[in-house]
Amino acid sequence: MDCFEINGGPRLRGTVNISGSKNAALPILAATILCEGETVLHRVPDLADVRQMTHLLEKLGLSVERTGPGTLRIRVEDEMNCHAEYKEVSKMRASVCVMGPLLAKRKQAQVAMPGGCSIGDRPVDLHIQGMTALGADFELTNGDMLLKAKKLKGAEIFLGGAFGSTVTGTANVMMAAVLADGRTIIESAACEPEIVDLSEFLNKCGANIKGYGTPRITIEGTGSLTGCEHTILPDRIEAGTFAIAAAITNGDLSLKCARLEHMLAVVDRLRKIGVIIERAEDGVAVSSARRLEPIDITTQPYPGFPTDLQAQVMALLCLADGNSVLCEKVFPDRFLHVAELNRMGARLRKEGPTVIVQGVKRLVGAPVMASDLRASAGLVLAGLVARGRTVVRRAYHIDRGYERIEEKLSAVGADVRRVDEEL
Ligand code: EPZ
């Protein structure tokens, strides 16, 4: 079982190439189910989750060919199978994104209801609300969501839940609505850059979507979509992770391809902590050479501070000069990294959806356990600065969302390597 072995200390310096966004690539891959002809996607990250999605697409009758670094050629060959089975969906929750395209293009979808995961409950009630609003019949049978519709009809849909908008819910409803009869309005839509990228992809395929990137998206249904060529946008969460890596090691990194305009909440918080982060010629430049100021951070849907960077910024705030407060408003249980960071000498106290971070002088290396993708990233960042050796077990979690992270970190000076098992 893969572990990362990290010896803390080196200041990171140099250039990191930011990969294409996992959370843009996954719904766009699902959207190819809608298309006639061939789709060519560039800058698709080589990640476990992407491989899982391409495997699912192949089971759903699509051919997927990797024709070069980051390039996939995709075509629908057979539309018989409309079943995304539990063994696929349980491995990766984003598989639920095939629901809308299957229903729109093949008039039916049978998708296993995703269970919970280590970041908490992962309901899909808003996805189902959107599909039934468009006229689909729904039933739950043997743990599968079964949806059928001879022809979807445009509707006005409010997609806000108790925790705000839903990213994959917005993606799913949009992908169902693009082939529906008439106009669909999605109110309280997710505004994430990944939704913008999906919308731009769909419009290049012949869809008619307006208002994306705002809470109100309007979709005029069209007869069919034709595959196109598209380049996936850079991963703002990977960029944020490496920005925090520069900050926590008092280093100096250039994040190639990163887009500052997609990270403004993160930039705001990091600057207030004392990190220097600026737009650079072909990306973002981050450096830090001073003690870090404590700060309060609340995670929110975009454009708020992303929940996917909560564990990483918590690791950074462990070393701030005072007490910080981190409040998790999107996934209130997303704190499995807290106990592991405390094993490294952090002083964290969880109070419901909030963690009080008492700054300490230093962290100390220890064997720790990764629990989910972003928690693993937080533990790796802590290991970069902890005194001595840290071993992060279950490194496979991090491979779901970061392309060869240990190579990217080593290339800028980190003392990190992947080992088969804890030595
Ligand atoms: C997407 O997940 C991302 N995944 C997550 O990134 C990210 O943490 C999340 O959005 C929030 O930004 C992908 O894009 C593949 P949501 P998603 O639906 O769409 C509640 C990572 O590490 N909700 O926006 O599943 C839900 O419980 C992953 O890359 C409902 O109540 O998240 C949560 O509290 C982790 N009913 C909130 O909404 C629903 O039907 C936001 O969830 C759907 C969601």
* pLDDT tens readout for residues 9-59: 999 999 999 999 999 999 999 999 999 999 999 999 999 999 999 999 999
Mutating to test ligand 1, I would choose from 163, 241, 312, 374 the residue with most ligand atoms within 8 A of its C-beta, which is 163
Ligand 1 pocket member 127 (CB < 6 A)? yes
Q: What is the pLDDT of residue 181?
A: 98
Q: Work out the average pLDDT over 147-167.
A: 97
pLDDT tops 80 at residue 113: yes
Cβ 212 vs Cβ 199: under 8 Å: yes
pLDDT score recorded for residue 180: 98
Whole-number Cα distances in Å, 349 to 73, 173, 323, 353: 48, 39, 11, 11
Q: Is 99 in the pocket of ligand 1 (CB under 6 A)?
A: no
Q: What is the pLDDT of residue 337?
A: 97
Q: Give the pLDDT confidence score for residue 289 in this predicted structure.
A: 78
Residue 302 has a pLDDT of 98
Provide the token pair at 91. 């491995």
| 208 pLDDT tier (thresholds 50, 70, 90) | very high
Instruction: Please confirm whether the linkage preceding 303 is cis (ω < 30° from 0).
Output: yes
**Ligand 1 in contact with 125 (CB < 6 A)?**
yes
**Ligand 1, atom 20, residue with closest C-alpha:** 163
The pLDDT score that the predictor gives to residue 122 is: 85
Helix, coil or strand: residue 55 = helix
pLDDT band for position 121 (cuts 50, 70, 90): confident
pTM for the model stands at 0.97
Which residues make beta-bridge pairs with 286?
253, 277
Q: Which amino acid does the sequence have at 302?
A: Y
Mean pLDDT of the chain: 96
Cβ(35)–Cβ(227) under 8 Å?
Answer: yes
For a substitution probing ligand 1, which of 122, 166, 399 has the most ligand atoms within 8 Å of its CB?
A: 166
Residue 423 has pLDDT above 70, yes or no: no
Determine the distance separating the centroid of ligand 1 and the alpha carbon of 169, expressed in angstroms.
8
Query: In this structure, are strands 347-351 and 354-358 parallel, antiparallel, or unpaired?
Result: antiparallel
Section 364-379 average pLDDT: 95
Task: Write out pLDDT tens, residues 241-297.
Answer: 999 999 999 999 999 999 999 999 999 999 999 999 999 989 999 999 778 999 999
Q: Which domains does the chain have, with CATH numbers?
A: 2-19+234-420 (3.65.10.10), 22-231 (3.65.10.10)
Q: 356: CA distance to ligand 1 center in Å? A: 24
Confidence band, pLDDT 50/70/90 cuts, at residue 422: low
In this structure, the strands spanning 229-231 and 3-7 are: unpaired
Q: Which residue has 């729109």 as its token pair?
A: 104
- pLDDT at 389 exceeding the cut of 90: yes
Stretch 305-330: mean pLDDT: 98
> Ligand 1: which residue has its CA nearest to atom 8?
308
- For a mutational test of ligand 1's pocket, the pick from 129, 330, 337, i.e. the residue with the most ligand atoms closer than 8 A to its C-beta, is 330
Can you give the pLDDT at residue 385?
98
pLDDT score recorded for residue 416? 97
Ranges of H-type helices in 136-282 = 167-177, 193-204, 236-248, 264-273
Q: Report the atom number in ligand 1 closest to the C-alpha of 162.
A: 31
From the CA atom positions of the chain, what is the Rg in Å? 21
Q: Is 308 close to ligand 1, i.e. is its CB under 6 Å away?
A: yes
Least confident of 2-6, 115-119, 161-165, 398-402: 115-119
Is residue 248 lining ligand 1, measured as CB closer than 6 Å? no
Give the pLDDT mean for 60-65: 98
Residue 117 annotated among the catalytic residues of the structure: yes
Nearest CA to ligand 1 atom 25: 168
CA distances to 16, 117, 175, 235, 285 from 239, in Å? 9, 24, 27, 6, 10
Average pLDDT over residues 2-7: 95
- What is the DSSP secondary structure assignment for residue 369, as one 8-state letter? E
Is 78 a residue whose pLDDT tops 60? yes
- Mean pLDDT over 184-192 rounds to 98
**Does the beta carbon of 166 sit less than 6 angstroms from any atom of ligand 1?**
yes
Res. 114: pLDDT tops 90: no
Q: What is the pLDDT of residue 2?
A: 85
3-state secondary structure 306-328: CHHHHHHHHHHHCCECCEEEEEE
Query: Does position 225 have pLDDT exceeding 90, yes or no?
Result: yes
Is the pLDDT at 127 greater than 90, yes or no? yes
Percent of the residues in the chain that have a pLDDT greater than 90, as a whole number = 93
Q: Which atom of ligand 1 is nearest to the CA of 96?
A: 25
Please give the average per-residue pLDDT across 91-97, as a whole number. Answer: 93
- Say what the pLDDT of residue 119 is: 84
Q: Which atom of ligand 1 is closest in space to residue 331's alpha carbon?
A: 34
The pLDDT of residue 33: 98
The catalytic position among 97, 117, 205, 228 is 117
393 lines ligand 1 (CB under 6 A): no
Per the CB < 8 A criterion, the answer to whether 195 and 213 are in contact is yes
What's residue 291's pLDDT?
86
